[in-house]
Amino acid sequence: MNGQEWNIAFEKYKQIAQFKYLNSHFTLEDFKFIFFWEWFHRLWARLIGVVFIIPFTIFIIQKRIKREMIRPLIILFLLGALQGLVGWIMVQSGLEDSDLLYVSHYKLAIHFILALGLLCYALWFALQLLIKSRQLLYKQSLRNFIGWIIGLLIVQLVYGAFMAGLKAATAAPTWPDINGSWLPANT
């Protein structure tokens, strides 16, 4: 962007609550720094989409992808697109001229969990390709235990995203205790 475009973007940023109540000390250079990381994040996501869809399309035309792989790969692409859409919606929630200083913690949690789901799906798909079904062993008790562990992990990760989105670490920055106490103080 040229100097005038930077000034216009900075003036728009000055209109939102995050600037008014949190970053009013920001200079144009400070704004450029945070702008760069947001821009890079979006560029990286788009680049991943392009790097996926172009070879995928070429490989389908050249019939280099097995037929049974097409559907899971399309699902993988759609999950990535959904992740990008939710990320865009999340960022928009922090740019509204309201009392929100940060993005919505709900939208942050959804964006985070979708990212982890996307990674899990990619891993699952890769394992499907690497491990033959006849090599798999099933033990129902272990499967149930893993299901409970994964469920507990998801709850903990959502909770962690809420805590990050609500900036809870600023209220209790110590660990493993809570500001010197093992139980939260009554407030």
- Output the six-digit token pair for 75: 């699902």
Name every residue whose Cβ is closer than 8 Å to that of residue 172 and which is 6 or more positions away in sequence: 178, 179, 184
What is the dihedral sign for C-alpha 178, 179, 182, 186?
A: negative
Instruction: Tell me what pLDDT residue 39 has.
Output: 93
Q: How many helices (H) and strands (E) does the chain have?
A: 6, 0
Q: Are 81 and 49 in contact (CB under 8 A)?
A: yes
Helix (H, G, I), strand (E, B) or coil at 174: coil
pLDDT of residue 16: 87
Per-residue pLDDT, 97: 57
CA–CA dist 110, 129 (Å, integer): 28
Which portions of the chain are predicted below pLDDT 50?
none
Give ∠ CA 25-90-126 in degrees, rounded to 5: 125
Q: Could you give the C-alpha distances from 173 to 12, 36, 44, 49, 170, in angstroms and in order?
A: 33, 28, 31, 37, 6
